[in-house]
Amino acid sequence: MLWVVNILLDLIIGGQILKWIENLKSIIDKNTPGNCPVCNSINTDYSMHIIDNKTNMGYGVIWCNNCKNAFHISRINVSPNMKNTLVPEGLKY
């Protein structure tokens, strides 16, 4: 549960005003990021990367392939079903 608090703090402190919170919930619940909170496109994706194999803690990125807006999650408990894919270049954080 601590990782949820860390994520919420990152979202608030990052100035995103919780814009990407629904996408994060969708990834956790359904393994899909849902619509872009900026342009409403369904062409979104995400990638989670484990840094500490003992705790499965890592970081993630959620992005829109259309408008290129993205959000970086600096601390998250990465579950085995989450994707680890190449993050495209040129994203706007």
pTM (whole model) above 0.85:
no
What 3-state DSSP class applies to 1? coil
Stated as kind and residue range, the H or E segment containing 28 is helix 21-30
End-to-end CA, the chain: 26
Question: Which residues in the chain land under pLDDT 70?
Answer: 1-17
Q: Residue 2: in which H helix or E strand, if any?
A: helix 2-13
Residue 1 confidence (pLDDT): 46
